[in-house]
């Protein structure tokens, strides 16, 4: 396309009104959605890092018990193997509580954008 064709298109677009109108609070809604998405990513990253810290601490404690006395670790593993369902349920519930506290509750109770002031009020 030549420069004259582009200039004609630009001039025509400046002279005509668009066929759509944005609501008065469009910028506020877009800003809120961007902030909410970034906060979701931050909250999820924090949850995953806390989970990684808990797993690392559990592994460090198991390694320490293994170095001190191997019989304690074998007793723990035998307890876990006898009660697999209960241990998995407790771990799942604790993990869900952490997820709900660090991610879901923050997402649900984040302040919503305020409506724009009414004209004449």
pLDDT tens, 55-113?
A: 999 999 989 988 998 898 889 889 999 999 999 999 999 999 999 998 888 888 876 55
Q: Which of the two residues, 16 and 116, has the higher pLDDT score? A: 16
pLDDT tens, 24-50?
A: 888 888 998 898 889 889 999 999 999
Q: Assign 3-class secondary structure to the chain.
A: CCHHHHHHHHHHHHHCCCCCCCCCCHHHHHHHHHHHHHHHHHHHHHHHHHHHHHHHHHHHHHHHHHHHCHHHHHHHHHHHHHCHHHHHHHHHHHHHHHHHHHHHHHHHCCCCCCCCCCCCC
């Amino acid at each position: 396309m030549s420069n004259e064709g582009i200039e004609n298109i630009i001039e025509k677009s400046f002279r005509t009104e668009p066929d759509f109108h944005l609501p008065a609070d469009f910028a506020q809604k877009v800003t809120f959605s961007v902030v909410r998405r970034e906060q979701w990513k931050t909250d999820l990253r924090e949850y995953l890092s806390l989970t990684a810290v808990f797993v690392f601490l559990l592994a460090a404690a198991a390694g320490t018990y293994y170095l001190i006395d191997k019989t304690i670790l074998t007793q723990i593993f035998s307890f876990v193997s006898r009660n697999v369902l209960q241990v998995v349920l407790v771990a799942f519930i604790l993990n869900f509580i952490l997820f709900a506290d660090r991610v879901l509750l923050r997402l649900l109770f984040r302040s919503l954008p305020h409506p724009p002031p009414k004209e004449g009020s």
